[in-house]
Structures are given as structure tokens and as C-alpha cells.
A and B are shown apart, each in its own frame.
Chain A
Amino acid sequence: MDRESTTTTQALLDALRWLGYGALALAFALSLYWVWRTSGSHVEKGKVNIDFLWPTYTPQKVRYGEHLAEQYMKENPNVQVNLILTSDPYKKLQIMIAGRTTPDVMWMGIGWQQFGDALMPLDDLAAGDPDIRRETYLPGLWDAELWQGSLRGLPSSGQVGVLYYNKDLFDQAGVPYPSADWTWDDMVRTAKALTRDFDGDGVIDQYGLQLEQVYRYPFVVYAGQFADSEWRTARIDNPVVSAMLEHYRDLIYKDRVMPTPTASAELGMLPMFEAGRVAMHAASGYALESFRKVQFDWDVAMFPWFEFNGQRYRATGLWQEEFCILWNTDIPEEAWKFARWCAGKDMIRWAALDGHIVPGRVDVATSPEYLAPGKRPANMRAFIDSQSFAVPMTPHAWHVRIAAEFDPIWQDFMQSPESNPISAAEAAKRFNTALQRILDEYHAENEPLDAAEARP
């Protein structure tokens, strides 16, 4: 290569290198510009700013939150609703509380009681409001919003556990659909007819029944609650609970109609039902959105009656979603107005008809447009009728810990007979002891304060 071309190549390389540096600088400048552009605050001066925390569990859920914010701002031009979205609302809230940057209003769902002390009591505000009273909501829902005796949230959705069932599988097996008044034995008989091992390899391919993990507790407490109404004394250790536990375990190892806890934990239960591999599936209203996309025909039914010693028992879990106001908000009145509007008839009606929630308001839940036929599930009433025997699920601040301590006991109990599991009575006793210990510790550490003293 002669010298001239070498210099030309060199010059070209240099030019390329400088071009590279230029591009890098440009990218740097652009990125900084972007950071600067996105650093602007949402707070609008001269307007009421409401920080509103909302979960991003599904695309639909995000739309629900955005609709609330936009619609409210349209109706109230002096208000700016700042939507704070997160995939993990409780963790986010915890960090925000620690940083004293709490939102004003937020969505709450299962386990809201762990933040019970951070939520503003709404009793005084509700007292002057004809719409916010016990009768507005489905039975049981109002009580589920109480924390240490005062109202802490305005319910939007009341989710009770029901049995979803795959009608196509029922048709193929030629068994009747569940009735509103069926019993545990009916359920087991039906489930047996629906449990199949198609290829004969000893592994069951289609199960008759599965219960979402959380439902094991309503079944444990079929006879009532975990503890007394004050949550000071554990009430699990009794013969009904033992019998219930025994029947529950039999579903897996004796009746053989239900997957083992590990088998069903593996893949998630919704996909199993959606894939047509389970005929009956106990879950609450949250499953509706997902199931509405499946191709087979399905419906819902109420949980069965459990008969023991000539008595009939029935219970289901109740979870609710609600709008809560954080106690250290600077704008309690504006926050209340917004929360009340979100939980009001118009927005609940919109959310229910748009498929976001199972409405907790009686007026919406029983309206003909909501119960309209031709939509799945046909028996929407099961959600409403089940509320009369629904039990709020573990309404205790330390419910995560309760679940964590129950877990090993549950695993000791839920084993095949060959591995010598503990007896049902022993399990009930251990659950009781564990719960009592936690309740005692909680009360030793957290004596409830008067509202006046507790106000931050």
C-alpha cells in the first residue's frame, strides 16, 4: 500500500472516529434532555392536587384508574388528580409512608388491614352523607370495611368465593350442573364423575375440582371465624373445623378429585381451568376478567353446604376492594369528595358494566342491566347471594404473618396417608396455638390508641 492511500485511510478512520464521538455526544445530550423533560412535577399550582395510588395488575385495571382520574378532572376543573401507578401497591405505600410522601387516596384490596392504622376513619364524614351507610352495600361488606370499630374505606367491589364450572366438561360427562342448595357430598360425587385419567398412565389428566389456596381457610373456618370479633382469642380448635379439615384432605387423597397442593401450585390454577383440565374451580370475582376470554362455556355456583352432626354450615371468603384516604393527607375534604365520587353509583355502575368489578353496591348489583342475560356468567346472582354467608378474610394487621405461620402446619397436615400426616384435630390445635401466639404478641406491641391520640 502506498503512503498516499494509507493517509487517506487514516483520515477516513479519523473522520469515522469523530463521527462516533459526535453521535455519542448527541445521544448524551438527547438523554439528558429527556431526563430534564420528564423531571417536571405534576403538581399544578392553583389547583387542588390529589395523589391517587392505583395498581397496574392488568391493562384493564390501568384503564379503570385512568378513567377515574380523567373523568373526575373533567367534572372538577379545579382539581388535578395525580395518578401514581404501581405493580406492588402495598410495598410502594409502605415506602411512601416511611418517607412521609403518602398519597391522599388509594385503592386497597386483599389484606388492607395491614395498613389499618394508616387510614383515616371516615365515620364522621359518612354520618352527613345519606348515600354512605350500611344498606347501600351488599350484606357483610360494610363490616368488612371496619378497623378498630371505625369505617376506613368505601367499598367498590365485593369479591366472594364461588365455584366456577366448565359446562362443556359437565355436558360431556353427563352430570347435572351444581344447584344453589347442593351439599358437600353432591360436590364430591360430581367431582368424581369429572376426574379422568385419559391415557391410563396413572397420572390424572383432568380434575373434578380445585380450590384456590386462599380458600382452604374459609373451608377450615366453615363454621365461622378464625377468632372472636375482637381478634383476641383464637377460635380454630373445635370439632367442626377438624371435620372440615378431614373432608378437605380427603378430596385429594381419598376421593382423589383434586390435585395435590404442590401440583396445583405449580402452574397456577386459573390456567388449569382455562385449559379445560379442571371442571370446577373455586375463586372469587377477580377470575372473571380472565375467564371471559376462554372459549368453552362456563358458569358460577355457590359453595355447597357442609353437614356435620345434623347441622348445616356454609361460608365463603370475602375480599373487597375499596377507596381509602390516608390519614396524613393535607386535603381530607377534597380527598373524601373524590373517594366518595369513585365509590358513588355512577362510577360503580360504569366499572361494573365495563367488567372491572363485581359491584358491592346493592343498587348496581341487582340492577337489570347488570344481571342481563346473554353474558357470562349467566348466574351472576351467585356472587350477590353468597355475600350473606361470606366472612371477611383474615382482617388482621398481621395477616401475612398468620398465613406464613400457618403454612408449615398446613403442609404437615396436607400429606398423603403414606407419609403419616398429623391428624385433623392436631392440625386444628396447632393452628389455634399459632394464631393465639401471634394475637398475643400483636396486642402486647400495639395497644389500640384513641382516635385523637393516633392522629399524626
Chain B
Amino acid sequence: MNRHQVLGIFERIAIHGVLVAAALVMLTPLVWMISTSLKASGHSLSRGIEWLPWEDIYVSDALKTPVIVLGARVRNEEAGNTIEVGIASLRDRRRRTEVSLPEGRFSGEVLEYRVRNVSEADQTAEAFWIPCDQLERRIGPRWSNYSEALVKMRFFSLLANTVAITFLGTLGTVLSCSLVAYGFARFRFPGRETLFMVLLSSMMLPPVVTMIPVYLIFRDLHWIDTLLPLFAPAWLGTNAFNVFLFRQFYMTLPFDLDDAARIDGCSSFRIYWSILLPLSKPVMATVGIFSFTGLWLDFMGPLIYLNSIEKFTLSLGLYIFKGPYTVQWDYLMAATLVVSLPCIVIFFLGQRFFIQGTVLSGLKA
């Protein structure tokens, strides 16, 4: 092994080290979401940080019932007495454990636990005592949070609307923005630079103040409470961000391409469709991913234009778990994860087009 190879290995280790660390940081919110989505409601904020959805089980004869542990009777070995403490005072669920009280800490032996049945129907269930060895602690993920959340937010009825909007909007954005960008990037015409600044400037006014006038336009078109306002404008290249992105990409392609094709008798549209578009797969994937994500998660548009719940999108549906004062953490997290899944899949698939040298191989072909 020569010096170069050794360095190469070190370098690879270093790169992976950095990437793994960064990926961990990036994944933390996701992991916590998954963990919260599997906990029983009210457990999401237990003292300290619990990554796993623990559950207490009372084992009696043949029955195993989930219980909530309220407190314990502990023997203080140093003082020789037995006292009753709240469950938060115990360090862990072991037989010999450390007990912290306002008066001080001691190590003690748990004799009995005070528990109550977990049962939503019976709110007034009485607490009872069970011997220490009949309490088991196990990981009990609540998968039912997922099904319950999806039912409560009417997932499947909202899914169809969201899919329709996202599909039509993404298709329209990719086609119209690439076409408009082609016009800006590859043709000289009077006022081109000015018009391009106008295009950019349409992004510079905070949407807060245009919200009401835009609403009036859609009202006059009789598009309120339909899916149209959410995707139809996308077909007219109104998304300046994506036009700009396409334009920047086209500007990097040599003009020889167009000239050669034109000599072969290709029309301008043909050059766009058969030469530039196939070459711009990476940027098409990028615009596609952005546009998909944007439409799928769009909240403000649906909030303003949709009235009936059967026309709602998934992003509106998520708000059913968050009122102005209450949050149903478990359901919200479960539903958010499910709703986000298609975006992750689309990104994973879209990456296929990020392959270096596509342009070159395109040139040779």
C-alpha cells in the first residue's frame, strides 16, 4: 500500500464520518416524530427524554393488563422505615432503585406499586396495589395511533384531491416553466432583460398583501371551493422560481446544439422538445421535486380557496389535530409521517436523474 492509498482510506473515513454526523443531525426530528407517533397520548412529554414507547404491564395469573403506575411503597434501608412515594421520585423501574424526595435521596427497595388500569372508557377507575414482581416494563408501540389518525383526518377522501392537484400542478409547472425559460434563454428579443426582471420581481412582493386581490380574481372566475386555483395557474408558467431555475440551466448549454439542429431543419419547438428537454433531466427532476413537495404540502392555498371538507387536501387535514390551544401529538405525528411519505419517495426516485455527465452523453448521441 502506498502513501496515496493510505491517505485515500483516511479521507474516505473522514468523509463518511462527517456525513454520518450530519445525517444524524438531519434525522433527529424524524426519529423523534416516529417515537412520538408510537406513544400513548400524554406520554409524549414524560419527564426526561424517552426515545422508546415504554408501557407498563401488570402480570397476574394468566392476564397481562397495561397499567399506569402512579406510585410505590419503598423501604428505606438506611432509615429502616417504609414510605409511599410518587412514581416520578423513582429513578427507574428496578426493584432496588434510587429515590429522590425533597428531603433528600436514598437508595431503597420497592415493595409494591400503586397502579390504575389503562382504559379510556372507565375514567374513574380506582387505583390498586400490586406486588413489585408483578409489574413488567416492555416496549409497547401504539401502532393503532396510525390507523386512528388516518380515520380521524379522513385520509383517503383527502388523498384523491391532493393527488389530483399535485399531479396536474407538477405536470403544468414542468412543462410551462421549461417552455417559458426556453424563450428567455435562447432567443434575443427587445425587452427581454426587462421582462425577465419583471418575472423576478413578481416574487418580491410579500404574498400577504396580494392574498385578497388574488382571491377576488378566483371569485370572479367562480373557482372558489374548487381545486382549480391550486393548480391551474401553474400551467401558465406563473412560478417564477422554476422559470428562473430552468433558464439558468439552459444558459449553460452551448448554442452549437441549436445551430446544428437548425441547419438540419428543426423547428424551434422541436429543438426545445427533442434536444433541450432530454438534456435537462436533472433540472426537470429538481423542478418536479420542488413542485411536487410544494403542492403536496401547500397549506395557505387550500385554506383560502377550499370550503367543503370533501375537497380538502391532506395538509389541511393535518390541522384537525392542532387547534389554537390543543395539540394531539401522537395523532399529529403519525399523520404527518404518512402524509410526508410520498414526498420522500418522489425525492428518492427523482435522484436517479442526478448523474454527472448526462449533458455530455447527450451531446454525443
Contact = CB atoms under 8 A, between A and B. Distances in A.
A touches B (Cβ under 8 A): yes
Interface of A: 27-28, 30-32, 34-35, 38-39, 41-42, 55-59, 61-62, 82-88, 91-92, 95, 98-99, 101, 110, 168-169, 172, 196-200, 205-206, 212, 267-268, 270-272, 274-277, 286-287, 289-290, 292-297, 374-376
6 contacts: A38-B310, A56-B320, A86-B303, A98-B212, A275-B47, A295-B118
A32 B168 contact: yes
Given A84-B307, A95-B212, 4 more contacts: A30-B164, A59-B320, A110-B324, A206-B88
Given A41-B225, A198-B100, A295 B68 contact: yes
Contacts of B303: 86-88, 91-92
Nearest to A27: B167
B102 A42 contact: no
B309 A58 contact: no
Given A58-B328, A272-B45, A295-B68, A169 B86 contact: yes
B119 to A, nearest CB: 9
B326 A295 contact: no
B47 A277 contact: yes
A169 to B, nearest CB: 7
A95 B42 contact: no
A173 B42 CA distance: 22
Contact of A38 (B100, B116, B219, B226): B226
A197 B47 CA distance: 12
A110 B324 CA distance: 10
Nearest to B116: A295
A21 B7 CA distance: 49
B105 interface: yes
B176 interface: no
Contact of B327 (A172, A268, A294): A268
Of the listed residues B42, B160, B224, B226, the one surrounded by the most CB atoms of chain A closer than 10 A to its CB is B42
A275 B309 contact: no
Contacts of A271: 42, 44-45, 327, 329
4 A-B pairs with the lowest CB-CB distances in the bound complex, closest first: A57-B323, A87-B319, A172-B86, A31-B164
B256 interface: no
B122 to A, nearest CB: 10
Given A99-B219, A205-B88, A295-B68, A87 B42 contact: no
Contacts of B41: 274, 293
Contacts of A199: 91, 100
A41 B307 CA distance: 11
Nearest to B304: A95
Given A34-B164, A169-B86, A198-B88, A39 B304 contact: no
Contacts of A200: 100, 105
Contacts, number: 164
Contact of A293 (B120, B171, B224, B324): B120
A28 B168 contact: yes
A83 B45 contact: no
Contacts of B296: none
B141 interface: no
B89 A38 contact: no
A87 B320 contact: yes
B163 interface: yes
A284 to B, nearest CB: 9
B203 interface: no
A110 B85 CA distance: 41
A379 to B, nearest CB: 14
Contacts of B105: 200
A374 B167 contact: no
Identify whether the interface residues of B are mostly helix, strand, loop, or mixed. mixed
B123 A85 contact: no
B89 A198 contact: yes
A45 B298 CA distance: 33
Nearest to B71: A172
A82 B308 contact: yes
Contacts of B216: 98-99
Contacts of A39: 226-228
A163 to B, nearest CB: 17
Contacts of B89: 196, 198
A95 B215 contact: yes
A206 B87 CA distance: 12
A205 B303 CA distance: 40
Given A57-B324, A98-B215, A205-B47, A197 B70 contact: no
A297 to B, nearest CB: 8
Contacts of B71: 168, 172
Contacts of B224: 99, 101
Interface string B206-238: 000001100110010000111110010000000
Nearest to B169: A31
Contacts of B211: 95
Contacts of A62: 309, 320
Contact of A61 (B91, B100, B127, B323): B323
Given A92-B303, A271-B45, A289-B326, A196 B308 contact: no
A83 B100 contact: no
Given A41-B225, A295-B42, A101 B219 contact: yes
A57 B42 contact: no
Given A31-B167, A38-B226, A268-B327, A85 B308 contact: yes
B308 A296 contact: no
Contact of A277 (B45, B225, B310, B323): B45
A330 B337 CA distance: 44
A84 B211 CA distance: 19
Contacts of B101: 198
B167 to A, nearest CB: 5
Contacts of A87: 303, 316, 319-320, 322
A102 B117 CA distance: 49
